[in-house]
A and B are shown apart, each in its own frame.
Chain A
């Protein structure tokens, strides 16, 4: 769907591409680390710390993407959807006071992989992307 004044879109950006791959690895590891398993316990302080680290990573990626966007905002929006997903996962972990269940975690990780893969695919479809 094409909306607004801008017909074309921001060109490929290697840093934005790299940010998607780094955030994907970080986000999936976060879910796996906080999924129930032997010897693991829910720890509020540890969760607050990792969520704070994640918040900074996503903020940096969002500010960078917005600085490189043309009027279409497609780069910033791609990061924004991923950041919102991370924030919801953090909120849920803190609110429920239990680690993610194995069944839920397996389904969620599949969704996260798709979300990041689509964001990366979008970057690779931009003008100037490596062939």
Chain B
């Protein structure tokens, strides 16, 4: 089995059908998303499932990689938070400093 589609078809189980369908929808949605980290997550999850099906990873290794990816996404979100806060500070303090250092005395 070399593709995710083949893997999902091979594991025929009615109980899993809904989960499979939801998973495929999420995967399609993630691949369309930006930022890159979301798209990259979809590609990696797909690759790891194929690796698991072909025996290149075992269950524990697959779980460990999924945990690692969760932390990668969290670290990315933290970086975004830091960038947003820093930008707010630069803009706010930049405005205040402009008025204090350049406008007072020159305009008024």
Contacts and interface: CB of A to CB of B under 8 A. Distances in A.
B81 interface: yes
Contacts of A126: 82, 86
Interface of A: 1-2, 6-9, 72, 74, 77-78, 81-82, 84-85, 88-89, 92, 96, 101, 103-104, 107-108, 111-112, 114-115, 118-119, 121-123, 125-127
B100 interface: no
A85 B71 contact: yes
A77 B85 CA distance: 15
A114 B85 contact: no
- Bin chain B's interface residue count: 20 to 34
A113 B83 CA distance: 20
Contacts, number: 97
Nearest to A9: B85
Main secondary structure of the interface of A (DSSP, over half): helix
B51 A103 contact: yes
Contacts of A72: 81, 85
B9 interface: no
B57 A103 contact: yes
Contacts of A89: 64
A111 B69 contact: yes
Contacts of A77: 78
Given A112-B68, A115-B68, A118-B72, A7 B85 contact: yes
Given A104-B61, A122-B83, 9 more contacts: A6-B85, A8-B88, A72-B81, A104-B57, A107-B48, A111-B69, A119-B79, A125-B83, A125-B86
